[in-house]
Homo-oligomer: A and B are copies of this chain.
Amino acid sequence: MSDPSPALSHLDAAGAARMVDVGHKPVQTRVATAEGELVCQPATIALLRDRALPKGDVIAAARLAGILAAKRTDELIPLCHGLPLDSVAVDFAVLDDRIRITATTRTAARTGVEMEALVAVSIAGLTLYDMMKAVDKTMVLGAVRVTAKEKI
């Protein structure tokens, strides 16, 4: 590698962190989807199904926390740009030993929205964790990753 890495785009030639200039990139519709999962005890899921899911507030709280966090991604991730999100959707699949979380974000902007989707999944997952932590000390948030990203 004889040439200064262009790849770590958040570092300038001297290695200092910077917010990458996106001014020359076109405004385009950009969509990203991220997923993750909160692995729980099966008994926790059973309790959730029995007590919490009928009323809906647990899932609704996690969904809203994810949506709100996505909108504040640039305050949380230091080098992210502030983007006007056209939509954010956060969905949940309650499986026997885990809850799968999927977030899709969309913008018309000069840079992509995968960080927004990842933030939504992570904060939605931690909100579930918070509401179930009194009954399950073994939960693990994992498999948080981007599953789709496109420019339209």
Interface, chain A (partner B; CB < 8 A): 1, 4-5, 7-12, 14-23, 29, 36, 47-48, 50-52, 54-61, 63-65, 67-69, 71-72, 74-89, 91, 106-110, 114-115, 118-119, 122-123, 126-127, 129-135, 137, 139-146
Do A60 and B17 touch across chains, with their CB atoms under 8 A apart?
Answer: yes
Tell me if A's interface is mostly helix, strand, loop or mixed. mixed
State which of B61, B81, B84, B134 has its C-beta within 8 Å of the C-beta of A17.
Answer: B61
Do B68 and A7 touch across chains, with their CB atoms under 8 A apart?
Answer: no
Number of copies: 6
Closest to A65 in B: B78
State which of B20, B64, B68, B86 has its C-beta within 8 Å of the C-beta of A60.
Answer: B64
